[in-house]
Amino acid sequence: MYPEKLEMLIAGEWCQGSDGKTENLLNPATEEVLGQVPHASSADLDRAINASLDGFKVWSKLTALERQVVMEKAARLMEERIDTIARTMTMEMGKPLAEAKIEMDVVINALRWYAEEGKRAYGRLIPARFTGVRQMVTKEPVGPCCAFVAWNFPGNNAIRKIAGALGAGCSLVIKPSEETPGTAIAMARCFQDAGLPAGVLNIVFGVPDDVSRHVLGSWIPRKLSFTGSVPVGIHLQKLAAETLKRCTMELGGHAPFIVYDDADLEQAIEQAVAFKYRNAGQVCISPTRFFVQQDSYNKFVDGFKKRASALNVGNGLDDGVDMGPLIADRRLDVMDSFVNDARDAGAKIEVGGQRLTNQGYFYAPTVITDVPDTAKIMKDEPFGPLAPITAFRTHDEVLERANSLPFGLASYVFTRDNERAASIGSELETGMVGVNHVRVSTPETPFGGINESGYGSEGGIEGLDAYLRTKFVTEQIT
Ligand code: NAD
């Protein structure tokens, strides 16, 4: 049984859409219908936007300590309910239950971190050039905010917006993905039960473009935060410009994973495979272009193939499953088109390369070697369980190839050369660089891309600052 009741949260009340419109929610592992996702009407969206203004007036007046108390209580409720929320996530999104629990753990940590950091929204005093004048810079919450988030991390994508906004003293209208609504609903119930005032957090669903046009057309939300694809991000930024909203854009990536001959190869292979197939590769910072130096290439490919072939693909609720299905049927077609194009370009499909069953959206963990840089998979973000591996000779060559795309989210490098390890972080054109490990996403560190991967950070002090505005007050005191 799917554990969550599908409802929207508007002005502190759980509700269905006022005109009764819904869409089916599917389990990607079984294609079974789990429930009906309510769609907000225009009137519902207006109610949510207005409620966020009412909520802002209450929430922004509380002290950071008072806000922390509510957020901490919500974190404790999430801990108590973690098993049920993780089950909801697995059923609607497909990832293995163990991964869903880890994600909820990350969610709880991020919530606690933002709740605590809200107390450190420091301003400063600037010595004045006029006698008897005090000059103060203060940080204030930007106002009611809006956010739209993708389905790949139903908990984490949502909490980064919710906790960032709430920690800074903002209110929020958020549209989680209609493909993974239950996780955000379950999290919102924790906030409600923790005593969050009405209107501070509003959750809506609908036809994505209709919702975003309506919400972004209002002057009430003062900020937009989006997690999703580059084309949708560009589209939303244009809409947000009409009402001069500031934006945070967490968009796609195409992460190079560079392995030098001097690397600890076993460590590189182990981390490469584990990270590549986590969440079936549907991760914006997933390694997606593997560059291995000539002398280590064959050994790396052999080790990678061995581990990838041993992965157990299945329903995420079953024991021992390493990788679940893709989110939807449409993604299987996208995977096929990447594989066919690579094959036509002269690459070898070493492992996988096809869908796995007639029921559920399962795609085989796939390893593709000798992939030319001209193949589609080396240019477009695959967002799935495909690992293209290619060889390189020199440092300058691999740097040029790694930096050749307009994306700039994450990159990874494995080397034992200390000089190279120290310098490569500044040579790679990405917002995050992992050297000899891949853990680039934690609550206290900034997460975000550059170039076409977007701008603005979530996490770290930058993540809170994104929801704050700067005010200057100058006062003649003597
Ligand atoms: P998509 O571009 O159609 O949708 C991505 C997400 O944006 C979905 O959750 C969708 O509901 C939402 N969306 C689409 N149009 C919207 C609109 N006008 N207003 C508000 N939200 C809107 O692609 P898809 O098939 O769902 O996912 C695959 C692609 O999405 C991948 O190529 C990948 O680049 C990207 N993606 C990126 C991230 C990320 O974290 N950066 C997360 C998920 C998906």
Q: Distance (Å, rounded) from C-alpha 254 to C-alpha 379?
A: 8
Reported confidence tier of residue 391, pLDDT bands at 50, 70, 90: very high
- Mean pLDDT over 138-163 rounds to 98
Q: What is the DSSP string of 136-200?
A: EEEEEE--SEEEEE-SSSTTHHHHHHHHHHHHHT--EEEE--TTSHHHHHHHHHHHHHTTPPTTS
Cα angle for residues 449, 450, 452 (degrees, 5° grid): 100
* CA 284 – ligand 1 centroid, Å: 11
DSSP class of 458: B
* CA 259 – ligand 1 centroid, Å: 30
> Would the CB of 158 count as within 6 Å of ligand 1?
no
Q: What residue type is 349 in one-letter code?
A: I
Q: Does domain 8-251+453-475 have CATH number 3.40.605.10?
A: yes
Which residue among 232, 405, 447 is best mutated to probe the pocket of ligand 1, counting the most ligand atoms within 8 A of its Cβ?
Answer: 232
Please say if the pLDDT value at position 357 is more than 90: no
| 80 assigned to active site | no
How far lies 407's CA from each of 91, 106, 230, 252, in Å? Answer: 31, 26, 9, 7
Other CB atoms within 10 Å distance of the CB of residue 346: 11
Atom nearest to 230 CA in ligand 1: 34
- Of 128, 4, 95, give the one whose Cα is nearest residue 361: 95
Is 470 exposed, middle or buried, given 0-12, 13-18 or 19+ CB atoms closer than 10 A?
exposed
> Would the CB of 70 count as within 6 Å of ligand 1?
no
* CA 251 – ligand 1 centroid, Å: 9
- CA 373, distance to chain mean position in Å, is 27
Residue nearest to ligand 1 atom 21, measured at CA: 208
Residue nearest to ligand 1 atom 5, measured at CA: 228
Please say if the pLDDT value at position 461 is more than 90: yes
> Would the CB of 361 count as within 6 Å of ligand 1?
no
Q: Distance (Å, rounded) from C-alpha 197 to C-alpha 9?
A: 12
- The residue extents of the domains of the chain are 8-251+453-475, 255-442
Other CB atoms within 10 Å distance of the CB of residue 31: 13
Q: What's the token pair of residue 42? A: 């225009």
Mean pLDDT of the chain: 97
Query: What pLDDT, on the 0 to 100 scale, is given for residue 238?
Result: 98
Other CB atoms within 10 Å distance of the CB of residue 140: 16
> Would the CB of 209 count as within 6 Å of ligand 1?
yes
Q: Answer positive or negative: Cα dihedral of 344, 350, 353, 358.
A: positive
> Would the CB of 7 count as within 6 Å of ligand 1?
no
Q: Distance (Å, rounded) from C-alpha 204 to C-alpha 170?
A: 17
- The pLDDT > 90 percentage for the chain reads 100
Q: Answer positive or negative: Cα dihedral of 59, 61, 64, 70.
A: negative
Please say if the pLDDT value at position 252 is more than 90: yes
* CA 264 – ligand 1 centroid, Å: 36
- CA 361, distance to chain mean position in Å, is 21
Q: What's the token pair of residue 229? A: 């694809």
Q: Which of 103, 117, 178, 250 is catalytic?
A: 250
Per-residue pLDDT tens digits for 312-350: 999 999 999 999 999 999 999 999 999 999 999 999 999
> Would the CB of 284 count as within 6 Å of ligand 1?
yes
CATH node for 255-442: 3.40.309.10
Per-residue pLDDT tens digits for 81-93: 999 999 999 999 9
Query: What pLDDT, on the 0 to 100 scale, is given for residue 8?
Result: 98
* CA 119 – ligand 1 centroid, Å: 33
Reported confidence tier of residue 410, pLDDT bands at 50, 70, 90: very high
DSSP class of 282: -
Q: Answer positive or negative: Cα dihedral of 337, 341, 344, 349.
A: negative
How far lies 232's CA from each of 235, 237, 252, in Å? Answer: 5, 9, 10
Residue nearest to ligand 1 atom 12, measured at CA: 150
> Would the CB of 150 count as within 6 Å of ligand 1?
yes
| Phi, psi for residue 310 in degrees, rounded to 5 | -85, -5
Reported confidence tier of residue 358, pLDDT bands at 50, 70, 90: confident
Q: Coil, helix or strand for 66?
A: helix
> Would the CB of 383 count as within 6 Å of ligand 1?
yes
Q: What's the token pair of residue 162? A: 């919710």
Residue nearest to ligand 1 atom 27, measured at CA: 229
* CA 341 – ligand 1 centroid, Å: 23
| 284 assigned to active site | yes
Q: What is the DSSP string of 392-427?
A: E--HHHHHHHHTTSS--SEEEEE---HHHHHHHHHH
Strand bridging mode 287-293 / 432-435? unpaired
Please say if the pLDDT value at position 41 is more than 90: yes
- Mean pLDDT over 241-252 rounds to 97
Alpha helices in 345-478 (DSSP H): 395-402, 418-427, 460-465
Which residue among 229, 251, 282, 440 is best mutated to probe the pocket of ligand 1, counting the most ligand atoms within 8 A of its Cβ?
Answer: 229
Tokens 């929320």, located at residue = 85
Length of the chain: 478
- Mean pLDDT over 273-284 rounds to 98
Atom nearest to 235 CA in ligand 1: 18
> Would the CB of 177 count as within 6 Å of ligand 1?
yes
Asked if residue 457 lies in contact with residue 447, where contact means CB atoms within 8 angstroms, the answer is yes
End-to-end CA distance of the chain: 70
